[in-house]
Amino acid sequence: MADQAPIAAVILAAGKGTRMKSALPKVLHAIGGRSMLDHVLATVGALGADQTVVVLGPDMDQVAAEAKGASIAIQKDALGTGHAVLAAREALDGFHGTVFVLFADTPLVRDETFRDMRAIREAGAGVVVLGFRPDDPAAYGRLITDSSGALDAIIEFKDANAEQRAVPLCNAGLMAIDGEVLFDLLDRVTNDNAKGEYYLTDIVALARERGIACRVTEAPADEVMGINSREELAAAEAVFQRRRRRQAMEDGVTLHDPDTVYFSADTRLGQDVTVGQNVVFGPGVTVEDGVTIKPFSHLEGTHVGADAIVGPFARLRPGAEIGTDVHVGNFVEIKNAIVEPGAKINHLTYVGDAFVGARSNIGAGTITCNYDGFNKHLTVIEEDVFIGSNTALVAPVRIGKGANTAAGSVISQNVDPNALGVTRPPHRQLDEWAAKYREKKAAEKADGKWPKPDPSTVKKSS
Ligand code: UD1
Ligand code: MG
């Protein structure tokens, strides 16, 4: 394409969001583990915006801190969307190009939709408005078009007459505007309307008066849903998840029951990954080609190497680096650990703050005792090690290459390469002990000697 005009984005987020009933500012609530504001910033990044301004109210420092890479403009009083865009004027001083106005509480608009708006804008329209046809048009602004489909005006619901309210085409709120005229038009917007606000939407009629072409492009309703309440947040999450499931399958991932798999915005799955039912991808997960993730596994902050098998019921926590061909089985938790290729950790095990060498086999019920109540310590298991079932590895500790530990051992000292570490008491057998014990207990029971324990009689030590 020929030289495209530069793009600036103005993201409106000065509204209070009181309907969320939350101590957290509305636009910091997450969808797919990423804040609404971050979603919008990511879209703006994908669009290649040269400049981004986030418009906030006073006392929204927490939001400002999240708006990385953007400049912040403060709108002192929330006097309307037009007034909010005016707050960005100084930050956009000297900018020549297209200004996108986005709402931080409308985070699901796809990159393609913005590219579409951009193309229409660059083909000569001064103002491009994103429209949609909701099932229930409710209180949305109505888009008034002429017979050719060109946009004449946006009428806010409260100001609309019955005929205008009957129009099914609504304003999603997002616009792409010629930066050369935006602020001139906004200067002429008044608050002489039903809400007493400065409406951004009024710039359409003002542009038409000056003979500037205005156009509409439409998006599906679920893409432009604004989020004002927890219920709408949940609905947006559902839309996001559906989209990600479809995307994963398009990218070559098998989902055995797509509706039960949950993604984060930054989840990355390679080709021919297979995901079973009820798997949750928390933030920060990358999975390489050919991996199988069996049902009921929970992953976050994890990298899984090619052809590994994870689950069922596996929990991979932040810092788990799972190598190629590794097997992680049921009820295994791995945190901050490097697991080298071909290692097997198949049953009922906790591996935290550890290094597990290539091809090592970790027996059922192994625990790295990484925490002493104050600090975390490292467990190093070198390659080709065999850790017997129910081994407690008291960190810091190192098991040398090719060594074994005996089942049931508490290993608190290093084990040399190729040695056996064993801390088991010797085996004893007491002949007939069990039979005599049963007899004794039966006699006690007959004598009524078994009082019920009473926790309410416990006295705490001072
Ligand atoms: C707006 C549109 C309406 C559209 C609807 C779509 C206007 C006048 N109306 O109405 O046509 O159908 O969105 O959802 O634009 N904001 C500020 N400062 C303000 C006011 C708002 O930053 O003074 C921000 C809000 O935080 C929010 C966005 O602008 O992110 C939209 O504001 P909102 O009050 O929700 O506008 P609506 O009345 O829904
Ligand atoms: Mg709104």
Asked whether residue 260 falls in the same domain as residue 133, the answer is no
Asked whether residue 73 falls in the same domain as residue 187, the answer is yes
**Full domain range(s) for residue 410:** 230-421
Q: Above pLDDT 90, what percent of the chain?
A: 95
Per-residue pLDDT at 251 exceeds 50: yes
Query: Candidates 59, 60, 81: which one to mutate for ligand 1, based on the most atoms within 8 Å of Cβ?
Result: 81
Asked whether residue 207 falls in the same domain as residue 234, the answer is no
Please say which residue of 202, 223, 244 terminates a domain: 223
The sign of the dihedral angle between the CA atoms of 256, 260, 261, 263 is positive
pLDDT at res. 25: 94
pLDDT at res. 3: 62
Residues with CB under 6 Å of ligand 1 are 12-15, 55, 75, 78-81, 83-84, 103-105, 140-141, 154, 156, 170-173, 199-201, 226
360 located within any domain: yes
Kindly state the average pLDDT of the residues 180-207.
97
What are 11's strand-pairing partners?
54, 102
379 located within any domain: yes
320 located within any domain: yes
Q: How confident is the model over 290-306, as pLDDT tens digits? A: 999 999 999 999 999 99
**Number of structural domains in the chain:** 2
pLDDT at res. 1: 46
Q: Using the mean position of ligand 1's atoms as its centre, give its distance from the Cα of residue 149 in Å.
A: 24
Q: Which of 29, 347, 377, 427 is catalytic?
A: 347
Please say which residue of 223, 249, 281 terminates a domain: 223
| 347 is a catalytic site residue | yes
Kindly state the average pLDDT of the residues 136-147.
94
Kindly state the average pLDDT of the residues 355-368.
98
398 located within any domain: yes
441 located within any domain: no
Per-residue pLDDT at 321 exceeds 80: yes
> DSSP H helical segments within 102-150, as ranges?
111-122
429 located within any domain: no
**Across all residues in the chain, what is the average pLDDT?**
96
Asked whether residue 198 falls in the same domain as residue 300, the answer is no
Spatial contact of 358 and 374, defined as CB atoms under 8 Å apart: no
Give nearest CA residue, ligand 1 atom 39: 140
Which atom belonging to ligand 1 lies closest to the Cα atom of 77? 23
Please say which residue of 194, 223, 252 terminates a domain: 223
Check which CATH number belongs to the domain holding 336 and give it: 2.160.10.10
Q: Using the mean position of ligand 1's atoms as its centre, give its distance from the Cα of residue 92 in Å.
A: 21
Spatial contact of 311 and 326, defined as CB atoms under 8 Å apart: no
Distance from C-alpha of 264 to C-alpha of 304, rounded to nearest angstrom: 16
Q: What are phi and psi of 246, to 5 degrees?
A: -60, -45
Secondary structure of residue 392 in the 3-state scheme: strand
275 located within any domain: yes
Which are the contacts of 301, defined by CB distance < 8 A and separation ≥ 6?
Answer: 282, 283, 284, 285, 317, 318, 319, 320
Check which CATH number belongs to the domain holding 30 and give it: 3.90.550.10
Asked whether residue 249 falls in the same domain as residue 211, the answer is no
Per-residue pLDDT at 157 exceeds 90: yes
pLDDT at res. 462: 84
Which atom belonging to ligand 1 lies closest to the Cα atom of 56? 22
Q: Using the mean position of ligand 2's atoms as its centre, give its distance from the Cα of residue 57 in Å.
A: 16
Which are the contacts of 449, defined by CB distance < 8 A and separation ≥ 6?
Answer: none
Asked whether residue 350 falls in the same domain as residue 309, the answer is yes
458 located within any domain: no
Asked whether residue 72 falls in the same domain as residue 157, the answer is yes
Q: How confident is the model over 17-36, as pLDDT tens digits? A: 889 999 999 999 999 999 99
